[in-house]
Amino acid sequence: MSNLDIPGEFLRHAVLDTVVQHASDIDLEAALTSALEEGADDLPSVLSYIPQRTLLFFDEFCTVRIVLRLANCSQNSLKSHLQNLEIRLDAFAIDPAEAVAENPTPTRDLIFSGVVEATADPLVVVNEFEGETGDGNHVYVIWSIETFLKRPRIRIQHPSVIFIASASLNLAETRQHSSHEDVYLPSLIPASTNILQPLSTDPALNQKDPFLPASRLLRVVPAKYSEDPIYNVHQESGHPIRIVPAASARIRYSRLNSFCSRPTTIANLDFEVPPFLNSEVVFDKADLRLSDGSIELLTDGPGLVPPVKCSPRDDITLIYKLTPEYGPDSSPSTTVMVSTLEISLEAVIKVSDNCTPRILMQWTTNIDFSMALNPSFGGPSQAMQRVNRPTSLSTLSGQAGTDRTSLRERANSVTDLGVTMSFSGPSSVEVGKPFAWSVFIVNRSTTPRKFAMIAIPRRKVSTAKGHVVRPSSSSISNRRSDQVAEAVTDDNIIHAMQKSVAGQEADLVCLSTDVRVGPLAPGTCFATELKFLPLAVGSLRLESVRLIDATTGETTDIRDLPDILSLGLYSST
């Protein structure tokens, strides 16, 4: 057994690198063999014989090859330690222009992190050679990992992506396998010294070798290697590859002005190819799913149904009709309908005949299907116009009291600022466990809006009795004059009142102290959360949610909020 069979020596002279091949059907073994036959020595020179990608795309499914080169590795060592290797790959979005002398490490954002599956079967290529110190070999182990290059969270002017690979040897599994081979003494660990070794040549012992291990007499420290063992290898530096968006997508909504019993929203889905892209894009999949409703595609003409071939500067618009669904006990005019829309788009970029990367764009948004209380109210006439005229009038009279007495999980409010707010929360909460309200805001005005939201706690009504006029000790005098009034109170009464006042304990604490909304363009929406902590059992309420316009400073208090039923830790419903 050689030193390379020791776990700490397996990665002694290992080198890691990554490569993103241009063609998906390339023969890697043939490319490496050709490079080695032509005399390529170091790993970057060997990988240069593989045609690589010079441009990547955001939202792309990209296959990356991780290459590990081992020096003087035997077949037994490779077989015993390869299954215990953990190969990881991280992808970072950077700006290479920031890497100057004053800032050698530019700002980077992690856009992918993954681990090669333990069951993956890597490609192994062995290169035998003759060196100055004797015969040796280089073993190339190649793994494939599928990556998804998501968009970075930071703004990068000239984005590029680098791949950094790392290899770790799992010691726990290595020791577990080695323990089954030798349960008494690990391999290459020297045995204890024989104290009676000098007496082995004594003729009086009749050619019997006496043996007494030194471990029976004193503590023996096992021999150590001159170099520390290596169990982790990292890629020294990455190769920046330019990355750009291959397409952009957005969705717009407009409510259908009809007097039908069920509200309808028209959604325009735009898919646009940027002008700087020099490749053809095939828009082949558009999948929209509404959580509570149905979707109907209105653009079913030729050239508008995926797959659609798009050239640079092309803009494809798909029109959908979104219709919500209601339960048996709901009414469109009284129910706040906020549904979730899931959007998934896929396309293929025709870079070349043998390079066709695929991109995937996915996001989720909320759709507000709430109807106006009386849409037939119409616009203001020329003869009568006033400021803050409501956009609709309520047609309900006897249902208002019914809604207030029942426990509500949702509430909807229309403010004078032209903003519609919907609150939704859990039906019940537990004391001491935080919960959240989902807030959905729609700007129905004609100007951009920017707000700050503050939760106003409910103040308890003081039960202190009214002041009673009592005679003061300082006002008692034998010589009372009609021109001098009696003292209202004195220091003794004030001290007694202050001492008897009890502090107010909070029943509901808002954990979202600073919530900013906007700027919201006209017709756009925004979703956020308000987090609370209940501290008492029973029905809890807020005084209001105050909406402050950041531009004008105008405030609006929203008092129509969901009910909060707080239960004890051991209560059951």
Domain architecture of the chain: domains with CATH: 3-181+228-242 (no CATH), 246-368 (2.60.40.10), 407-459+505-567 (2.60.40.10)
Q: No. of H helices and E strands in the chain?
A: 7, 30
Do the strands 564-567 and 429-430 form a parallel or antiparallel pair, or are they unpaired?
A: parallel
And the tokens for 529? 């959360």
And the tokens for 365? 């948004």
Provide CB contacts within 8 A for 306, sequence distance 6+.
Answer: 283, 284, 285, 286
Residue 423: CB atoms within 10 A of its CB come to 21
- Identify whether the C-beta of residue 153 lies closer than 8 Å to the C-beta of residue 133: no
Q: Can you give the pLDDT at residue 405?
A: 38
Q: In what helix (H) or strand (E) does residue 565 lie, and over which residues does it extend?
A: strand 564-567
Cis-peptide, bond into residue 222, ω within 30° of zero: no
Question: Rounded to an integer, what is the distance from CA 130 to the centroid of its chain?
Answer: 52
Residue 546: CB atoms within 10 A of its CB come to 15
Distances, alpha carbon 193 to alpha carbons 190, 197, 209, in Å = 9, 9, 14
Q: Which residues pair with 414 in a beta bridge?
A: 420
CA distance 316 to 318: 7
Do the strands 108-115 and 232-234 form a parallel or antiparallel pair, or are they unpaired?
A: unpaired
CA distance 229 to 42: 23
Burial degree of 227 (CB within 10 A; 0-12, 13-18, 19+)? exposed
And the tokens for 163? 């791949």
CA distance 141 to 54: 24
Instruction: Count Cα atoms within 13 angstroms, Cβ side, for 60.
Output: 24
Name the residue among 257, 270, 247, 444 with its Cα closest to residue 347.
Answer: 247
Distances, alpha carbon 326 to alpha carbons 193, 234, 373, 414, in Å = 86, 56, 17, 22
- Identify whether the C-beta of residue 520 lies closer than 8 Å to the C-beta of residue 449: yes
Place of tokens 């190769």: 239
And the tokens for 315? 């803009």
**pLDDT digit of tens for each residue in the chain (573 aa)?**
455 556 667 888 888 999 999 888 888 888 888 888 887 778 888 888 888 999 999 999 999 999 998 888 888 888 888 888 889 999 999 888 776 555 666 678 899 999 998 888 888 888 887 766 556 788 899 999 999 999 998 888 889 999 999 988 876 554 444 444 445 555 656 677 787 788 777 777 776 778 877 777 765 555 554 456 777 888 888 889 999 999 999 998 887 765 556 678 889 999 999 988 888 999 989 999 988 888 888 887 777 788 889 999 888 889 998 888 765 445 554 455 678 889 999 999 999 888 999 999 998 888 877 765 554 444 444 444 454 455 444 433 333 333 333 456 666 666 666 788 888 888 788 888 888 888 888 887 778 888 888 888 876 655 544 445 455 554 444 545 556 666 666 677 777 776 665 555 677 888 877 788 878 888 788 888 888 888 888 888 788 888 888 777 788 888 778 888 888 765 444
Find the distance separating the first CA and the last CA of the chain, reported in whole Å: 68
CA distance 537 to 507: 8
And the tokens for 511? 């954990």
- Identify whether the C-beta of residue 316 lies closer than 8 Å to the C-beta of residue 304: yes
Place of tokens 């107010």: 504
- The predicted model scores a pTM of 0.56
